[in-house]
Structure formats: structure tokens, C-alpha cells
């Protein structure tokens, strides 16, 4: 099954590289700004580059946040990238506005001893003893290097939602999370070459079994 992917365009950048990444992984991806059109897709991708509060305001103004909420309630596939993932949590230390609270947890800043942003290629570690469906998502990623650019990271309310971590500034932070039908990455898979594409291919294979559109 070839999934129809709506890459949400809410003025937060990075949409075209995200579209190319998912196309290369085997989907039919389209940049979408119209909530009605996004609702017709099989799965949603929430990219994001920039400040949490600004991105959040743009997402709410666009009306796409309501489509996101509906997808998550209906257990339909959603993939969040970097700030696009962070927006799904209840809030962030990067701004005073509450997040969408579609995922349990919050977003915090790296400690003061860390140089921010965390920028460039870094190694990730897949968590031990993952359930089979989670293990399939991160298959082939353990010990690989992927591309990061961020000063904040998510802290899920349930550690079982964390599938892989990265260590930076003395902190082990989640870099792949999964909650229900939602997958999020702190790194940019679309900018991470063959390894990033491997993750997207894994996700598309998983999402094809859960999409109901």
C-alpha cells in the first residue's frame, strides 16, 4: 500500500525537504496547507523549524491543529519532526503558550552547561527490550549517526514511549518516541541520508497497517 502523506504547511519551514524525504522512502507526499485536504490523507507529517511559540501560533491559525487532534483520536498515523514533534506535548520551556497536549509530557531546555543548539550529526542508541512493533520501527538505527539541530528536547510522561536516545551535554534525551499512532523524532530523518530514509521506510511500513483513510 502506497500511503498518501500530507506534509503540513503551517509556515514553520522545512516542508519541501520533508516531502522529498517521504517520497524517497516510498510514499506519495504532498505539502498541504488546507485542513480539508489534510483530512483526506492517509497519514500526517508535522515538520518544524524555529521557536516553539511561533510555530504553535501558526499551527493554530492554520486550523491544521484540529486535523492533528482528529487523527490522534482516531489512531491514524502521525509523524512529528523536531519542533513539529515538540508542539504535540503539553508545553515547552521555550515560551509561555501551552502546547497541543496531544502527547503526555513536556519539552525542556538542555542544562546550562550544554552548548546549544545541539547541531550536527550525532549517534543514537535504540532502547533495550522493545516490543516487536517498536523494534521494527527503529530497526537498523542503533549506533547510527543522524542530523540534529535543537536546544530543547521532549520528556515523555511514560518512559516506555521512548524508543531511542542520544547523549548530549551530559543528558540522555529521547530522540525517537512513540505514543499510540504518533511517532516523533528529535533529529531530522529527511536530512540524515540513507539512515534517515531507513527510519521513514520502517515507519511507512508500520503506518500502512494502521491507516484507515
Active site residues: 82, 188, 190
CA atoms of 190 and 56, how far apart (whole Å): 22
Phi, psi of 195 (to 5 degrees): -70, -40
CA atoms of 74 and 69, how far apart (whole Å): 9
3-state secondary structure of 113: coil
Longest dimension (CA), the chain: 47
CA atoms of 87 and 48, how far apart (whole Å): 9
| Contact assessment for residue 54 and residue 85, using Cβ atoms and an 8 Å cutoff | no
Amino acid at each position: 500500500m502506497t500511503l498518501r502523506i500530507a506534509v503540513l504547511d503551517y509556515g514553520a519551514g522545512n516542508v519541501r525537504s520533508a516531502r522529498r524525504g517521504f517520497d524517497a522512502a516510498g510514499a506519495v507526499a504532498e505539502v498541504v496547507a488546507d485542513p480539508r485536504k489534510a483530512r483526506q490523507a492517509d497519514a500526517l507529517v508535522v515538520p518544524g523549524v524555529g521557536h516553539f511559540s511561533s510555530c504553535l501560533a501558526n499551527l493554530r491559525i492554520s486550523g491544521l491543529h484540529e486535523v492533528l487532534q482528529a487523527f490522534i483520536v482516531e489512531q491514524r498515523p502521525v509523524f512529528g519532526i523536531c519542533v513539529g514533534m515538540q508542539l504535540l506535548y503539553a508545553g515547552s520551556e521555550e515560551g509561555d503558550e501551552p502546547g497541543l497536549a496531544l502527547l503526555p509530557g513536556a519539552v525542556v531546555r538542555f542544562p546550562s552547561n550544554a552548548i546549544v543548539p545541539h547541531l550536527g550529526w550525532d549517534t543514537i542508541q535504540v532502547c533495550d527490550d522493545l516490543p516487536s512493533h517498536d523494534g521494527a520501527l527503529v530497526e537498523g538505527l542503533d549506533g547510527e549517526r543522524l542530523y540534529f539541530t535543537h536546544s530543547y528536547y521532549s520528556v515523555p510522561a511514560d518512559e516506555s514511549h521512548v524508543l531511542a536516545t542520544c547523549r548530549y551535554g551530559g543528558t540522555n534525551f529521547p530522540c525517537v518516541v512513540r505514543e499510540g499512532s504518533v511517532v516523533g523524532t528529535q533529529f531530522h530523518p529527511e536530512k540524515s541520508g540513507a539512515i534517515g530514509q531507513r527510519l521513514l521506510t520502517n515507519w511507512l511500513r508500520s503506518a500502512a497497517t494502521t491507516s484507515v483513510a
